[in-house]
Amino acid sequence: RALERVRLVLDAQKDPQAAGDVSHSYEDKYNLTECMINTALASQINCLSVLGLGSEQLKKLATWSDVSAVSFRFVCNETVVYDREEKKEVESPTKSVTEIGVGALRTSITSKVTTTVVEHFWKYSVTYELFAFRGIGETEADRIPLVSRVANAELKTSSKNSTPCYVHSGACDVNITTLIKSLDPATLEPRVKIDRSSTKCKTPRRNPEVEEIMQYFRKIRDWMSTVVRHILCVFSVPTRPDRVDLSTVDVNAIFNPVIPVLDERSSEGADSTAAAGASSQALLSKLSSELLPRQSATLGVGDMNLLLQEELRTLTEQREQIFERFPTAEAAIGSSRDATVFIALSHCNNVCARWEASMAYVEDMLRKQLVAAIGKEVSPTDFAEYMRFHNQKMFGEAYAPTPFSFAVRRSSQHSPEGTLALEEISTKATSSSTSTSSSSSSTPPVQPVVSMAAHGVATSSTEPSEGAMKFALGASVEVTFGGDRYLHGVLQHQFSGQSGSKWSLSARAKQFSSMIVLVGRISSATTFDPKYAAIIQNKDELTIPLELSTIPTPKEFKEAISSLSPEQQAFAKSFRSMQLESTLFGILVIHIKPQLEKVLNLPDNSLTKEIKLTQDLMQLFIKYQIPSDLLSFDPATKTGSEPATAVERLLAVKDHVAAMMEMLKEAKDEQLSEKRMEAEYVEPISPELSECCSEEDSRLAPCFGDDMDECEDLCMEFSAPPAPVRRSGFSAMVKSAVKDATSAMKHYSSKSFEAKEGCQRLSSPSRSIPRSNSKSSTPTAKAPGQPQQQQQERQQQGQQPSSSATSSGQQQEQQKPGGNKQPSEQNQEEQQSSVGGAAGSGATAAFEARDYTEVPQELNRRFDELDTDSALRPTIINVGEAWTKRFQKSLLSKAEERTLNNDEIKDEKAAAFDLLDALTKSGAIPIDHAALHVVVAATHCFDKTVTESVVQDNLNPIERVERSSLIMASTIHALPAQGLLKNGHLDRVKAASPQLFLEDGRPEN
């Protein structure tokens, strides 16, 4: 409707259209914004001219604005005073006629009812004044009156206790200095120009000039609304029944000249310019001919002045109608002058509201064009996905960020034992711009966190200079470890307080594989402080949720403490130092099999194929806490001058394990016997039943031997209801004994889960392996009680007791033509030649001991120097509570999943520490095969969403995050920024972030 009105006002050669429907340039948006600003200001001046503001008064206000503030003030005072009481007789409108007659003489009597009415009269008066003033308006010389009204009326009520109306009194001011300063003092033409070269100018909508006008319009709108409410109260006074109401005044009939339109015909017609020059003489304020460029899609100055003229014409028409409808007496309540103030300020308010909506329209055009160019609204998840793609293009191959997903392997010659991954779960799936698949899964996508990794390998030497670190198992036990060292730098992005993802640490083990995962902090240059630990084995999958929290940026911290006392600043700095060190998140992965071989004095790779032996060893160490000296090979027991071969070492360990398992079996048999005797004592049985029970006892023997398949069948039988011929009391006692005895044999991995009633298969996968025949069975699978002398005789006769052990020993001897080396020497050689405990990427260089606790301080310093936006926040990674573990109770059973509570998490840590204590002989043996991952994180925070950051702040978030990535990468790799980039991106990054390439911006090596 407004656009049609504009077309009627302008010449036929013009074709104004909505700005969003016209092809235009980015500069045209600036011109359109300037045009609407100046049009709205000129419209406001013309509206005030209706209230009595003239050119001379405007010039005086312009002079005042050079030295002081200029304001409008509206003062209103209403009073209602009781005047008098009057009584009057009011006759009834009906008459009563009565006829009286005596004989032929008749007459009629007419009567009326008269009521005495008491009326109360009140004197109502209203006084209001609208004037401009400078400063505080202390004297009359500092004021310029615009509107002044004094009106009186007599009001009448039927009761003295109720007033005829509510009175409103008060004063309200508004500062109009912005309006006056925007005018040319000589011509009174608005001349607002947006300084496009200013660093604070972001977009046509977001710049200091528009923000100043926006604040002014909002303030004057509030002021005008207050004045209009006072005028409405005046019109609500019940002076007379036939008074004219303001509802007869149509404010919307007045033309609003502020409208965001463009015209593809950029040249201005000569006729419209002449018409504008002839008709705009009545305008108190109009646009300057030098305001807008000629070659622009915006309407010309002459066209805009025509719109202002149309506004003044319609406003004058409404004012004339007001003078015809409303009383013109000076003292009348609700006169034409009151209605004029109402309509002028109401229309001026509408102009301000239209201008604000037009500014939002210009910004919305930018948003729609950006979304149309990309095809969808960019979410934080979309932006993170792009940055992964962009970093692969920008960084050199050796320094490009890679997914934090590592294969846990002993060396490049071994298969992985499992995987360790730092994963992020998208909280908002990326939406397609065209259509979404109805069959898509509701599970949020999971992918590894991308990190910048620096890799090195440390020895297990106790010298700190060689990179050895340690961690405590207790107050008196410290374990030294070497192995791989990874320093990861992770940069997160957060838009409008939302990152779009959640983190979790995931550790997975393959079948017949195991490892220990410790999670904690780096407390010093040589100390790792584990807070949590768990054993991961046999297809276990442990997921640990991680919580991210940010701390203030270095600049924010400095500003916050700048006005504190020295003591308060010292306290804040100490606390922040602790917070910065808390950003070091450590993950230590320890290989179990290499450490088992080391503590048992076995050659390398001896346990690679010894699945059952490995499981038995872990059970003895974890559950029964058997000292490793009772199971390890002792060189002192070897007779002869030749060193023991790999086969001999392995057979000796197997004999020790078999003897220990036999001892445990005897202890369990004894426990079962005691249970039987207790049952017989409580409830004696008949000889027939005793014979039956003896037979049943013999059937239970496999439950305490090696045949676990038969044990499982027997336990299933005991789970069924007892036969009627047997006594229920004894049967229950036997079941209890079986359950107590077999529960002691369960592997630790199933310790935290509820066992079914009766005896179950052990969780160790080796229990599910089909048994071999007697000819190929290993020593650990021999019949219980087989003497050791028989084993020695078989060995002397040249028989091979174990095919796997023999092949393993032969392989070891073939790989070491130089003779049998000690296990410690073999471990060191393998450690030096191996790829490390993980198959990941990252820059690997000659290892130098690095104090990881200095990395957060170095990052904090570089954030302060190079992060000009103060958007990089150090991020603390904390472990969450809802741990989930996915496991299999047996080799062929289905995977189950459950959430671990706090007690179960503590049990996991205790079991891991018990195993570590056995594997290291309480810290006496260092750990060679381990991988330490140190993660330091930071978050680049944007105050707005991705689209709003681009549209409103006119910034490229890619360049900002790119700069933050280079700050972190140069610190992680201890290299200058130019050494990390590909040649094709160096010049572009230098132009966008020159401070990264200054000499003082390089990290200290």
Q: Which residue did the predictor score with more confidence, 114 or 195?
A: 195
- pLDDT tens profile 744-793: 444 333 333 333 333 333 333 333 333 333 333 333 333 333 434 444 44
Q: Across the strands, what pairs with 281?
A: none
**What per-residue confidence (pLDDT) applies to 241?**
64
Q: Specify which residues 543 forms β-bridges with.
A: 506, 884
Q: Tens digits of per-residue pLDDT, 11-51? A: 777 888 899 999 999 999 999 999 999 999 999 999 999 98
Q: Between 729 and 974, where is the model more confident?
A: 974
Kindly report, residue by residue over 811-864, the tens digit of the pLDDT: 444 444 334 444 444 444 444 333 344 444 455 554 567 889 999 999 999 999
- CA 435 to chain CA centroid, Å, is 26
Supply the pLDDT for residue 804.
40
pLDDT classification of 691: cutoffs 50, 70, 90: low
Contact, 954 vs 206, CB < 8 A?
Answer: yes
The predicted structure's pLDDT at residue 766: 36
* Spatial contact of 118 and 151, defined as CB atoms under 8 Å apart: no
pLDDT digits (tens, 9 = 90+) for 651-660: 999 999 999 9
SS3 580: helix
The pLDDT-based confidence of 490 (bands split at 50, 70, 90) is very high
pLDDT of residue 91: 78
How far is C-alpha 832 from the chain's CA centre? 42
Whole-number pLDDT of residue 954: 92
Question: pLDDT at position 392, please?
Answer: 92
Of 957, 785, 940, 913, whose CA–CA distance to 383 is shortest? 957
Selected residue with higher pLDDT from 260 and 740: 260
Name the average pLDDT for the chain: 80
**Is residue 251 predicted with pLDDT exceeding 60?**
yes
What does the pLDDT read at residue 833?
A: 36
Spatial CA neighbour of 618 closest among 517, 515, 518: 515
Label residue 785 left, alpha or beta by phi (over 0 means left) and psi (-120 to 50 means alpha): left
Has residue 586 got a pLDDT over 50? Answer: yes
Q: DSSP secondary-structure letter at 773? A: P
Token pair 């407390």 is found at 523
Lowest mean pLDDT, pick from 26-30, 571-575, 732-736, 793-797: 793-797
pLDDT per residue as tens digits for the range 69-95? 999 999 999 888 888 888 888 777 777
Q: Give the pLDDT score at 886.
A: 93
SS3 content of the chain, % helix, strand, coil (to 5): 45, 20, 35
Predicted confidence (pLDDT) per residue in 892-919, tens digit:
888 999 999 999 999 999 999 999 999 9
Of residues 681 and 816, more confidence is placed in 681
Residue 981 pLDDT greater than 70, yes or no: yes
Query: What's the order of all strands across the beta sheet hosting 70-102?
Result: 143-157, 105-134, 70-102, 170-175
Least confident range from 231-235, 395-399, 538-542, 756-760: namely 756-760
At residue 299, does pLDDT exceed 90? no
> Cα separation of 346 and 592, whole Å?
82
**Model pTM score:** 0.75
Taking 70 as the threshold, does the pLDDT of residue 272 lie above it? no
Q: Is the pLDDT of residue 577 over 70?
A: yes
Distances (CA, A) of 24 to 19, 32, 306: 8, 11, 23
Cβ contacts of 856 within 8 Å, gap of 6 or more: 580, 581, 583, 584, 874, 936
Joined tokens for residue 407:
């294969």
Is residue 712 predicted with pLDDT exceeding 70? no
Quick one: which of 512, 225, 493 has its CA closest to 385? Answer: 493
pLDDT band at 500, cuts 50/70/90?
low
**Looking at residues 388-402, what average pLDDT do you find?**
93
> How much of the chain, in percent, has pLDDT values that exceed 70?
77
> 524: buried, middle or exposed (CB in 10 Å: 19+, 13-18, 0-12)?
middle
CA-CA-CA-CA torsion for 372, 376, 379, 384, nearest 10 degrees?
A: -90
Show the tokens assigned to 331: 């003292």
Task: Note the pLDDT tens digit of each residue in 187-237.
Answer: 889 999 999 999 999 999 999 999 999 999 999 999 999 999 988 888 888
What average pLDDT does range 593-610 have in this prediction?
91
User: Which runs of consecutive H residues, i.e. helices, occur in 236-379?
Assistant: 270-279, 301-325, 336-374
DSSP conformation letters of 591-608: EHHHHHHHHTTPPTTTTS
**Angstrom distance (rounded) from CA 575 to CA 581:** 10
Closest CA to 46 of 305, 427, 359: 305
Nearest Cα residue to 352 out of 147, 728, 691, 47: 47
